[in-house]
């Protein structure tokens, strides 16, 4: 861990990353890619020491309330958050100034802040986004070793459901020859159905590989799936987009099941939903399902 003073904290689209780098250890992580120009080891978490001060300054100056998003590049509930509580303090500011929030995580540590998430949702809007990739718990511990398992994340989704906090699941990435199976898909979808998620974001059944994350991914394939790296190299070469041979069949199952249970899958509906602010104080009620 190291501290760094930064010049800004909110992007043009009101996205926020309080930390940079990650210790979850997911073998497929795109954030490792060299295109992001990280000037420190990925596991050496950069803490933006003045992030909360900058956030408050921006919230005070904003003329119009909006959704603040966090978790796009670094999970806001990495283990360091337990000690530093930057994410919690940012939620306190978002609640204090009457903004909405959407939080993207793979960690059940988010339940520590359930009180704040409920308060924000009571007065405005809160949406939790949760990534699910692997139904099998043993396989999940290989692919995503230092974070809550899929079943643990499912338990989080149920808690949020019971407190009327809407959720969106990212079904991404899916790894060819590893978890691109009907059984894996149906297991995850059954979790989503029971948790009554608002929507599922799925860009197809595959992953992206580019310089930085490709090398790490292949290193882990050699470690856990001997011989599979050669299969990837033969099938995909240096392609950025790596799609499963089962993509079309899995997409049909995905859309059929989601349509049956009223789960939104249209990106042109989900992304505006995540970005649109609602205030209950102005008579605008948020429809959950």
Instruction: Mention every residue, 6+ apart, whose C-beta is less than 8 A from residue 242.
Output: 176, 206, 207, 208, 209, 232, 236
Residue ranges of the domains in the chain?
2-279
Instruction: Mention every residue, 6+ apart, whose C-beta is less than 8 A from residue 155.
Output: 108
Task: Domain 2-279: give its CATH architecture.
Answer: Alpha-Beta Barrel (3.20)
> Do residues 90 and 51 touch, judged by C-beta distance below 8 A?
yes
Instruction: Mention every residue, 6+ apart, whose C-beta is less than 8 A from residue 206.
Output: 173, 174, 176, 180, 241, 242, 243, 244, 247
pLDDT tens, position by position, 25-42: 999 999 999 999 988 999
pLDDT tens, position by position, 215-248: 999 999 999 999 999 999 999 999 999 999 999 9
Cα–Cα distance, 13 to 165 (Å, whole number) = 22
Taking residues 115-119, report their average pLDDT: 98
- As a whole number, the mean pLDDT across the chain is 95
Residue 182 pLDDT more than 50? yes
pLDDT band of 287, cuts 50, 70, 90: very low
Specify the pLDDT at position 96: 98
Specify the pLDDT at position 281: 57
Tell me the backbone φ, ψ of residue 224, rounded to 5 degrees.
Answer: -110, -20
Specify the pLDDT at position 112: 98
Residue 190 pLDDT more than 50? yes
> Do residues 24 and 106 touch, judged by C-beta distance below 8 A?
yes
pLDDT band of 280, cuts 50, 70, 90: confident
pLDDT top residue among 156 and 287: 156
Predicted structure pTM score = 0.94
């Amino acid at each position: 861990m190291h501290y760094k003073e930064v010049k800004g904290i909110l992007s043009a689209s009101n996205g926020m990353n309080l930390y940079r780098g990650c210790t979850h250890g997911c073998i497929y992580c795109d954030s490792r890619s060299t295109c992001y120009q990280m000037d420190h080891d990925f596991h050496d978490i950069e803490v933006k020491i003045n992030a909360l001060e900058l956030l408050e300054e921006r919230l005070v100056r904003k003329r119009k309330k909006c959704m603040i998003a966090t978790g796009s590049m670094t999970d806001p509930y990495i283990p360091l958050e337990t000690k530093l509580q930057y994410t919690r303090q940012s939620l306190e500011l978002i609640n204090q100034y009457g903004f909405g929030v959407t939080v993207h995580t793979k960690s059940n540590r988010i339940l520590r802040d359930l009180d704040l998430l409920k308060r924000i949702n009571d007065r405005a809007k809160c949406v939790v986004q949760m990534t699910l990739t692997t139904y099998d718990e043993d396989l999940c511990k290989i692919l995503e070793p230092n974070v809550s398992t899929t079943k643990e994340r499912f338990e989080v989704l149920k808690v949020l459901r019971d407190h009327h906090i809407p959720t969106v699941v990212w079904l991404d990435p899916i790894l060819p020859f590893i978890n691109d199976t009907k059984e894996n898909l149906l297991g995850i979808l059954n979790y989503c159905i029971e948790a009554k998620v608002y929507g599922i974001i799925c860009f197809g059944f595959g992953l992206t590989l580019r310089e930085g994350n490709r090398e790490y991914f292949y290193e882990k394939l050699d470690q856990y799936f001997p011989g599979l790296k050669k299969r990837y190299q033969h099938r995909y070469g240096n392609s950025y987009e790596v799609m499963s041979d089962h993509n079309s069949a899995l997409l049909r199952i995905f859309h059929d099941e989601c349509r049956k249970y009223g789960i939104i899958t249209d990106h042109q509906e989900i992304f505006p939903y995540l970005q649109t602010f609602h205030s209950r104080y102005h008579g605008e009620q948020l429809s959950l399902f």
